[in-house]
Amino acid sequence: MKVLIPTPLRSYTAMREVEADGATLAAVLADLDRRFPGIRFRVVDEQGRLRRHVRFFVAGEQIFALSHPLRPDDTLVVVQALSGG
């Protein structure tokens, strides 16, 4: 599936769009981490929860769980919130 990478995570991929395999969000993130070591830790915390400042979308719908099923023809959009003042 196509995965759109936000600018803050492109230091891992060097690309704005990559391909990944997996039947769930967890499997896709594991595949990305095999190819781009360290990227999973930036979106999943030490307790295995999605980090609060990262959002995942497929077909315009937000994904809230690592167990969310995905299809090979999906496009996964990763959005990372920016903060500051």
What pLDDT is recorded for position 33?
Answer: 98
- How large is the average pLDDT for residues 39-61? 95
Domain residue spans of the chain: 2-80
Cα–Cα distance, 24 to 40 (Å, whole number) = 14
- How large is the average pLDDT for residues 69-75? 97
CATH 3.40.30.10 fits 2-80, yes or no: no
- How large is the average pLDDT for residues 42-71? 95
Count of CB atoms situated within 10 Å of the CB of 45: 12
